[in-house]
Chain A
């Protein structure tokens, strides 16, 4: 297994008390596999990514428990120095907002080349040549001419390609992409997702895709983990999950989005709001919004049950997953 996260806990100290942003999360990604972590804002999906990557702001954040096994080593036990060597070289991250993630006063060639200078000890001249190669690779037209330009001289889609090029530079085994196409228009989004999928196949990388977009997930993911209030509430191969969700939250999400190919019905909205993380409801965190909730849901936190009776490896944190699965 390339990456295995076990029982990860992250807390934030806030004015209103301790917020359990990540509250016991487990997942695993294999080489060449794409795992989508799906959640709405405040579900803990980005914090999970930051904790795995080792770029969580501490304080206010604090990892209070769990293991992050990357190629067998527990990253949480490593020294910062060692983590830094891994970051960028063996695991890399792509952020949503390329403009604010790139340095505005350095040319893109310098920023791409820096990866090779810092991690591989290359000369600036060699690094520059590699930067041009990388820009070619992510299909930025006229790479040789544009390598000296600055981030603001590129369009949004091109900037995102530069981010991808930077993540790929040292051919990492794992890429974590946090909403990589959310800021882009659909036609450009399609180009970037296509590129990412192709490069992932070519290098046999593991990809963790953090997103809120059920459409993007359906397009690219192999497996999916749905997060709600800091926990994974359902995980399954993507086909099985869309065909028959085993958690009422997932079902609610699928029913609440309008479809390009369907028209007319009223959208089945999930009632209410996601909980405040400093005051997560007792029992199942979803129970106040759940149409299936019963007494036990208000008192007992559901474990991540194994969903049996299907061929696929599925899990659901619902006491009544069987009923949910049957619709």
Chain B
């Protein structure tokens, strides 16, 4: 892996649940993120997938300091940014920018596109001298494939895909090293998604960006990611390179998730093995003991209720090596191919 630029260790975010008005007392906690570790290399893309409520967006917010972690550390180039404040924090935040999911609500409707993309320069005036800003904004519009003449238009004059380009241009303004993108294409139409994904691909090589790409769509995550982490109820349950996760999953949750994704190939219908999970994700206020996935797991045994499985390379695979030897938090990890292999030679 490339030189690490961001190291996350035991990241925790609990939201307290309180009762009473005058004598507030804590009666529990929403354990949104409950011990997450990962490392992001320079210029690399880490995909984080999971279903709604798994805590992936909360992780994103902590990375860009929109939420303060309850515990744990986020090291940017070795420095723990959760302990920084004031000027030092501001300097770091310049290098970690965010692109949001919803291009309809994440742009201020009363600001022109030029003001939206230029706003980061107001906050970090050292990034561009005042006289230079308009030109910089126009350059940014050009970089994301929009007409530089559009600077004086308002967000409502753009389509969803174009708005997401504006959001990306704003994220790029300060020339960050890391972009955290939370579901950046899920609000877009299919034909537009591809345009934005291709743009993000291009920008990554052009500006040597590292992405943390958060999404629920497993196909898109595979397309864009070098490494993937699968989250369930506030924890990463399996992580590895895209091939390791998609072609050699060992955690039952990953297997179920992958087997449930509809593949746009009707011929795969009969060849596919579906793992249907029973029930719903438990509430993060009341996380099951032991393995948190055991209540829906088709493999759960007694041991799973008492012993928390650690995210590590399972012993039986460690010696053998190969693509199955990647971190998986399951006592009974075993490889199972669930993504049908392509028959025809791929789309023309």
Residues of A in contact with B (beta carbons under 8 Å apart): 40-41, 141, 155, 157-158, 185-191, 193-194, 212-219, 221, 238-239, 242-243, 251-263, 265-271, 273-274, 327
Contact A187-B341, Cβ < 8 Å, known A213-B262, A267-B194 = no
A186–B344 contact, CB under 8 A? no
- A158-B280, A260-B219 as given contacts; A274 in contact with B189, CB under 8 Å: yes
In the bound assembly, the distance between CA atoms of A157 and B342 in angstroms comes to 30
Please list the 5 inter-chain residue pairs (A to B) with the smallest Cβ-Cβ separation, ordered nearest first. Answer: A215-B262, A258-B223, A269-B194, A256-B194, A190-B260
Q: Which residues of B contact A (CB under 8 A)?
A: 51-52, 159, 161, 189-195, 197-198, 201, 216, 218-220, 222-224, 242-243, 246, 256-269, 274, 276-277, 279-281, 339-342, 344, 346-348
Contact of B242 among A242, A263, A265 (CB under 8 A): A263
Q: How far is A255 from B220 in the complex, measured between Cα atoms in Å?
A: 13
User: In the complex, which residue of chain A has the Cβ closest to the Cβ of B277?
Assistant: A187
A-B contact pairs, 20 of them (CB 8 A): A40-B190, A141-B279, A190-B259, A190-B260, A212-B189, A213-B262, A218-B264, A242-B267, A252-B191, A254-B264, A256-B194, A257-B190, A257-B194, A258-B219, A259-B219, A260-B246, A260-B258, A267-B194, A271-B195, A273-B161
Q: Is the CB of B197 within 8 A of A261?
A: no
Residues of B within 8 A of A252 (CB): 191
| Distance in angstroms between the alpha carbons of A210 and B220 in the assembled complex | 22
- When distances are taken between beta carbons in the complex, the residues of chain B under 8 Å from A238 are 266
Residues of B within 8 A of A327 (CB): 348
* Complex CA distance for A221 and B262, rounded to whole angstroms: 12
Q: A40-B191, A242-B264, A252-B191 given as contacts; is B339 within 8 A of A261 (CB)?
A: yes
Closest approach, in angstroms, between the C-beta of A214 and any C-beta of chain B? 4
- CB neighbours (8 Å) of A219 from chain B are 262-263, 266, 269
Are B260 and A215 in contact, with the CB atoms below 8 A?
no
Apart from A40-B190, A185-B216, A239-B266, what are 7 other A-B pairs with CB-CB below 8 Å?
A187-B257, A190-B262, A215-B262, A217-B264, A242-B264, A256-B194, A269-B198
Chain B's nearest CB lies how many Å from the CB of A198?
12
Partner of B347, one of A157, A158, A268: A268
Task: Give the residues in chain A near B259, CB-CB below 8 Å.
Answer: 190
Identify A218's interface contact among B197, B258, B268, B347, CB under 8 A. B268
Known contacts A191-B276, A214-B264, A255-B348: A260-B194 contact under CB 8 Å? no
Residues of B within 8 A of A268 (CB): 194, 347
Q: Which residues of A contact B190 (CB under 8 A)?
A: 40, 212, 214, 253, 256-257
A41, A186, A217, A271: which contacts B261 (Cβ < 8 A)? A186
Identify B197's interface contact among A253, A258, A263, A273, CB under 8 A. Answer: A258
Chain A residue at minimum C-beta to C-beta distance from B347: A255
* Residues in B neighbouring A270, C-beta threshold 8 A: 191, 194-195
- In the bound complex, what is the Cα–Cα distance between A106 and B347 (angstroms)? 49
Q: Is the CB of A262 within 8 A of B260?
A: no
**CB-CB < 8 A to B218: which residues of A?**
186, 260
- Cα distance A191–B296 when bound, in Å? 13
Q: How far is the CB of B348 from chain A (nearest CB, A)?
A: 5
User: How long is the Cα–Cα vector from A253 to B194 in the complex, in angstroms?
Assistant: 9
Task: Report A-chain residues with C-beta under 8 Å of the C-beta of B339.
Answer: 260-261
Complex Cα–Cα for A258 and B242 (A): 14
Check A218 against B220 for contact (C-beta < 8 Å): no
Expressed in whole angstroms, the Cα–Cα distance for A253 and B193 within the complex equals 11
Closest CB of chain A to B199's CB: distance in Å?
9
Partner of A242, one of B194, B257, B265: B265
Interchain CB contact under 8 A, A189 and B348: no
Which residue of chain B has its CB nearest to the CB of A222?
B266
Whole-angstrom distance between the alpha carbons of A256 and B219 in the complex?
12
Nearest chain A CB to B226 CB, angstrom units: 11
**Contact assessment for B344 and A243 in the assembled complex, using a CB-CB cutoff below 8 Å:** yes
Neighbouring B residues of A269 by C-beta, 8 Å: 191-192, 194-195, 198
For B264, what are the chain A residues with a Cβ–Cβ distance below 8 Å? 214-215, 217-218, 242, 254, 257, 259
Min distance, Cβ A219 to any Cβ of chain B, angstroms: 5
What residue in chain A is nearest B262 (Cβ atoms)? A215
> Knowing A194-B276, A214-B264, A273-B159 touch, does A262 contact B191 (C-beta < 8 A)?
no
What's the minimum C-beta distance from B120 to chain A, rounded to whole angstroms?
A: 27
Chain A residues with CB under 8 A of B261: 186, 215, 260
Cβ A259 vs Cβ B191 within 8 A: no
Hey, which chain B residues are within 8 Å of A263, CB to CB? 222-223, 242-243, 246
* Cβ-defined contact, A260 with B222, below 8 A: yes
Q: Which residues of B contact A256 (CB under 8 A)?
A: 190-191, 193-194
Report whether B222 and A218 are in contact in the complex, using a CB–CB cutoff of 8 Å: no
With the chains together, A326 CA to B218 CA distance in Å? 31
Contact between A190 and B340, CB atoms less than 8 A apart: no
Q: How far is the CB of A174 from chain B (nearest CB, A)?
A: 23
Cβ contact within 8 Å between B192 and A262: no
Known: A187-B51, A270-B194. A216 touches B342 (CB 8 A): no
